[in-house]
Amino acid sequence: MCGSRPWLVLLFACAGLEAVASDSLEAYNVVWDSPSADCHGSMPIGNGDLAANVWVEPNGDLVFYLSKSDAWSGDQDLLKLGRVRVRLDEPLMQEGSVFKQELDLATGTIRIQSEIGNMKSAIRFWIDANNPVVNVEIEGSEAFNAQVSLESWRTPEVKRYGGAEPDTILCAEGDTIRWFQRNIRSVYADNLNQQHLGHLIEKYPDPLKDLTFGGLISGEGLETKDAQIMVTKKPVKSLHVRVHALTAQTETSDEWIKQIEAQRDTVEALPVANTRKQHETYWTEFWSRSRLLLSGTPDAERVAQAYVLQRWVQSCAGRGAYPIKFNGSLFTVDGLEVDRKTKVVTEHGPDYRRWGGCYWFQNTREPYWAMLYSGDFDQMEALWEMYRDALPLLKDRTHSYFKHDGIFCSETMQFWGLNKSGDFGRNNPSFYPTNPWIRYYWDSGNELSLMMLDFYAHSQEEAFAKTTLIPIAGEVVKFYDQHYQRNAEGKVHFSPSMALETWHEAEDPLPVVVGLQTVLTRLLDLPEKLTTPEQRADWKRFLSELPEIPVGEEGATKWIKPAHVYSEKKNSENPELYAVFPYRTYTVGKPDLELARETWRRRLVKRTGGWSQDAIQAAMLGLTHEAKGYVVKNVTNRSPIGSPPVVSPRFPAFWGPNFDGTPDQCHGSVTMIALQRMLMLCDGDTIRLLPAWPKEWNADFKLHAPQNTTVEGRVVDGKLVELKVTPESRSKDVIIMDAQSLNN
């Protein structure tokens, strides 16, 4: 640290970029001057893999739920690790006391301060950015006693969610509390057998069986009272409690115990002053990657806070072994759930999440699109890894089912690649799911391929292109090429098919046609050294065989249709506007903008909230008024879709429930994507600034563009007054637009 400071003063890093980050972020820190009634008043914090919901109760207890990105039950539901309570004999809160709880974004820390008479207390809560450990550092102006307890709700007497076993809480030993969940059974083999792939079980080992996850609590000066409670040996003025976390697939539970104890020894051998400094350096570098700070109107300031806090929430869960869960991320808590159809209210525990542990690509993708412009490339790795690991099984599935090459990506997906069991259906003799909303719905492969192409365009990482992009995208287009027949004109006929989940009967659906057009064109644009002549010849041929984009016509007016033929509307998406986002065939600065705008005007579903994309598409069409309106609505109404939460979370960026539960990651990340595209729109080499920017919003920004480019600047009264492009050679590719004129 920088030197001695008064014990109660917030500790910040010394200088340089750290000071800049602190100054720019301070306005967005979340500050509470009172404790919270319960877990609905929790603050989120995490290191990308290990995360916590943290709150102080009215009695002064510090409580937190602990989560980890790979804590999968035998049913492949993502469970909490546990709940921890810290109680001081000089409580943090009582009548007449002074209290403050602050999320300090710049240093990745929650700071809690209280003053009761002569007793002043300060807690620094941080989850090490570089090690799997929670740190709770407590300082007091007077000596105090403390009790740290593990609270378990997964007991033999209580019905448990997600295939969880009762927690195993080990006997007190070595002044630690140790506990774990261990999967003694798994849905994996049943999932493969049910989907006619039982012959592959030996080839692909079960990733859930014997998976063990839990924690170890320690603290110098603490001793065990029993298996779940530790107390201070004598009054202290300072106390450092650590909670170590581990997930590992081990042959025995004893092996897991040895691993977490060894992990504890390694981490605690590191000087805390050094690990804290390295932790704060990580967050300094994170916030220095990009920014989008707004002023000018109260709406602008609310939008800016939403943007910053959603990026924080994503970063708390984005560096784990698996992608961010759209339905709550790592921050679900216990509470009440309202069924959107029946309106029946049910009570649930902290392990519950609406739509369960399965991944749904339509919902998973949104945070990752936002990460491209914010430059959070490291957080995208978990998404790539999940599909990269699933690739061999997906290839074998195609061969088993259809006797040809390639892969199709299921919309609902267990992390090993197959459909959710309930969607595929029990005793299903077919190779297609019985769930009619996803029966022929494989579009995620194309959008994933485009996202990977964009990642390569931004990062220029050739190793990624060779090991991930081309192996996956190449197999996706190969499937579509070999799976469908050609018509008399030699064009591919995509049938049977669907237009997303909305039109259940469709021929040549727009998302498939425009998705393949975009992906094949972009694959052909890759440097020839990354591909083979045979690949390029196949891609060029297949591109020439695609059908035309379906267009409706009435007199001189034209618009894009969801498919060439479509019926059986069952959901509420606008498939035709996938030509705008994500595939960007029609946007500001491209031909036929009016065709796309007419499509926008004719869309059947007009709304925002949850995963609805209207805000993004309005921004990319240069519709400033509409884009602004939707973004403002998103940040002022946490749940514009369906019923509001029974109990509203206190943290301002815990959105939802909308479609997916609270906190809803789609809702916040759609807001991020729309705001980014209102300010900057990239296409090929071109960088368009202010394509849909309200003149009354001022901005201070730094965003990432393709070719390892960053674009920084300031907008005042609708005008760009400062601009810095790095590298400077890319300045020639910047076009500054008059967004207001586009709406005339």
DSSP string across 331-351: ---SEEEE-TTT--EEEE-TT
pLDDT band (50, 70, 90) for residue 168: very high
pLDDT at 743 over 70: no
DSSP-based three-state secondary structure for 260: helix
pLDDT for residue 162: 80
Domain assignments of the chain as residue spans, ordered by start? 17-289, 299-356+606-744
Sheet containing 497-499, strands listed edge to edge, beginning at the edge strand earlier in sequence: 497-499, 503-509, 563-569
- What pLDDT band is residue 343 in, cutting at 50, 70 and 90? confident
Query: Which residue type does 160 have?
Result: R
Which of the 8 DSSP states describes residue 484? S
Report the pLDDT averaged over residues 591-612. Answer: 97
For residue 600, name the pLDDT band (cuts at 50, 70, 90): very high
Q: Dihedral sign, CA of 454, 458, 462, 464? A: negative
* Mean pLDDT, all residues of the chain: 94
Q: Which residues contact 658 (CB under 8 A, 6 or more apart)?
A: 609, 610, 611, 639, 640, 641, 642, 664, 666, 667
Give the DSSP per-residue string, 155-213: -TTS--STTPPPPEEPPPBTTBEEEEEE-S--SHHHHHHHTT-GGGTTTS--SSTTEEE
What percentage of residues in the chain have a pLDDT greater than 70? Answer: 96
Query: Largest Cα–Cα distance in the chain?
Result: 88
> pLDDT digit string (tens) for 271-325?
999 999 999 999 999 999 999 999 999 999 999 999 999 999 999 999 999 999 9
Please report the pLDDT score of residue 6 as a whole number. Answer: 26
Give residue 317's pLDDT: 98
Q: What is the pLDDT of residues 93-108, one digit of tens each?
A: 777 789 999 999 999 9
What is the Cα Rg of the chain in Å? Answer: 26
Give the mean pLDDT of 511-522: 98
Its pTM stands at 0.95
Residue 646: what pLDDT?
84
Identify which of 459, 566, 586 has the alpha carbon closest to the alpha carbon of residue 517. 586
3-state helix, strand, coil in the chain (%, to 5): 35, 25, 40
Give Cα separations from 563 to 1, 257, 507, 512, 668 (angstroms): 62, 56, 6, 9, 30
Non-local CB neighbours of 537 within 8 Å, separated by 6+ positions: none
Q: What percent of the chain has pLDDT over 90?
A: 90
Dihedral sign of CA atoms 403, 406, 412, 416 in order: positive
CATH architecture for the domain at 17-289: Distorted Sandwich (2.70)
**pLDDT band for position 127 (cuts 50, 70, 90):** very high
Question: Residue 30: what pLDDT?
Answer: 98
Q: Which residue has 């033929």 as its token pair? A: 565
Q: Is 449 left (phi over 0), alpha (psi -120 to 50) or beta?
A: alpha
